Structure formats: structure tokens, C-alpha cells
Structure 1
Amino acid sequence: MASAPSDDEMFDQFLSERGHETEPVGWDQSYNKKQCPECGGLHDASATECSVCGWVPGR
């Protein structure tokens, strides 16, 4: 018996069918730095959170 898709899976499918990205967003790369996809702030490779806007990958 197949299980029904979860609410999150159904919502992701709804969004993706309408052209929206549903994958978690990660850091962009700019030379040897991490770049925040939200504000464009540059950080060292060890950064885990944007010190400019507070963005955290996967949220």
C-alpha cells in the first residue's frame, strides 16, 4: 500500500508546478568567499550565518 504524500510534499509540488524553487538555498560562491544569496554580503569560508542580514542556509 502506498503512503499518501505529506503536506510539505504536496505544497512543494504545488509551488514547483508554478515555477517556484522548492530546494533549500545555500551559499553562493564569490572567488574564495561565501556570498549570502539574500543580501550579497561576503564571508569567510567558515561562516555559518550571514553577519549582515542574519540569513542561515536551509531556512
Structure 2
Amino acid sequence: MASAPSPDDDLFDQFLSARGHDSEPTRWEESYNKKQCPDCGGLHEDDARTCSVCGWRPETRR
């Protein structure tokens, strides 16, 4: 079950960001008016929820 982000999550994200880590959820990239998988570069239609090439899925925040 998902829960709302807590103030501790924000503090932890700041800690990671200050040390060069990406703390934002990974999302689809866009290329040629299509969704592009950030892992393998596969192109997909706008309604795609999972990469059909490598199986990647966008991260959701707690």
C-alpha cells in the first residue's frame, strides 16, 4: 500500500542530491512525439506503461 511522502523522505532526498545522486522518480523520456525508455531507448506509443523491449517501468513515489 502506498503512503504519502513524509518530511523524512524530503530530508533523505536532499541528502542524496547533495552527494550527486538522483532522487527523483525515473520517468519516460520523449523522442519524436513518443515515449522513450530511459534504460534501452526503445520508442513506444503514449499509452505504454511498460517497455516492451526491456520490461522497464516508471518508478512511482511512495
Please state which band the TM-score falls in when normalised by the shorter chain.
Answer: 0.7 to 0.9
Deviation at 1:31, TM superposition (A): 1.4
Percent identity, please. Answer: 65
3-state SS of 2:22 partner:
coil
Give the Å deviation of 1:45: 0.8
Aligned to 1:54: 55
Q: Please tell me whether Structure 1 or Structure 2 has the larger radius of gyration of its CA atoms.
A: 1
Q: Which amino acid aligns with 2:27?
A: G
Q: Which runs of no fewer than 5 residues in structure 2 stay unpaired?
A: 1-6
What's the Cα RMSD here?
Answer: 1.5
Task: Return the structure number with greater relative CO, CA threshold 8 A, min gap 6.
Answer: 2
Q: Return the offset for 1:12.
A: 2.7
Q: Which runs of 5+ in 1 are unaligned?
A: none
The normalised TM-score by structure 2 is 0.71
Counterpart code for 2:26: V
Shift of the alpha carbon at 1:42? 0.5
The number of aligned residues is 54
Write the letter of the residue equivalent to 2:22: E
Structure 1 segments, 4+ long, off by >3 Å, are: 8-11
Q: What TM-score do you get using the length of structure 1 for normalisation?
A: 0.74
Residue 40 (structure 1) shift: 0.3
